Amino acid sequence: MTERWRPPTTAETREVLQTARTIAVVGVSDNPARPSHGVAAYLIEHTDYEVWLVNPNLTTLFGRTVYPSLADLPSAPDIVDVFRRASELPGITDEAIAARARVLWFQLGLYDENLATVATSAGLTVVMDRCLKVEHRALAGPAD
């Protein structure tokens, strides 16, 4: 039986943010004007998470290695934070499942209940159309 997706409650989202140790930012940009750049910078500068950057077109950013895909990460990420076009979400969902991620997080403007159901059925928690930086600031607060 397929488990239908339902949005996590505020308490569940807080728990996700408080228990996660690693976050993979998929689609991170080296352009400071892009939201993915700002979110990645915030996570690196103001949280205790180990932040892995993912973009096949970059090799380094913020003095860190940028991985070409989720499959190239050093270990399973707790959270996969997605900044990609909606057309790329099916492949990223499959990659997140294959990478044994715990949480698939679609950033603002990204929402696909069918993919969320696929990921939920594979055991992932799914957050959609929410900004991880905004949610972290509201529910977990910066580390510094």
- Give the pLDDT score at 144: 59
| Distance from C-alpha of 126 to C-alpha of 104, rounded to nearest angstrom | 5
Q: Is 16 helix (H, G, I), strand (E, B) or coil?
A: helix
Per-residue pLDDT of the chain (144 residues; tens, 9 = 90+): 566 788 999 999 999 999 999 999 999 999 999 999 999 999 999 999 999 999 999 999 999 999 999 999 999 999 999 999 999 999 999 999 999 999 999 999 999 999 999 999 999 999 999 999 999 999 987 665
- Structural domains of the chain, with CATH: 22-110+126-139 (3.40.50.720)
From the list 88, 83, 78, the residue with the least C-alpha distance to 115 is 88
For the chain, the distance separating the N- and C-terminal CA atoms, rounded to the nearest angstrom, is: 44
Q: Are 111 and 58 in contact (CB under 8 A)?
A: no
- Give the pLDDT score at 56: 97
Beta-bridge mates of residue 127 = 105
CA angle 131, 134, 139 (to 5 degrees): 120
- Give the pLDDT score at 2: 61
- Give the pLDDT score at 142: 66
- Give the pLDDT score at 4: 79
- Give the pLDDT score at 143: 63
- Give the pLDDT score at 118: 96
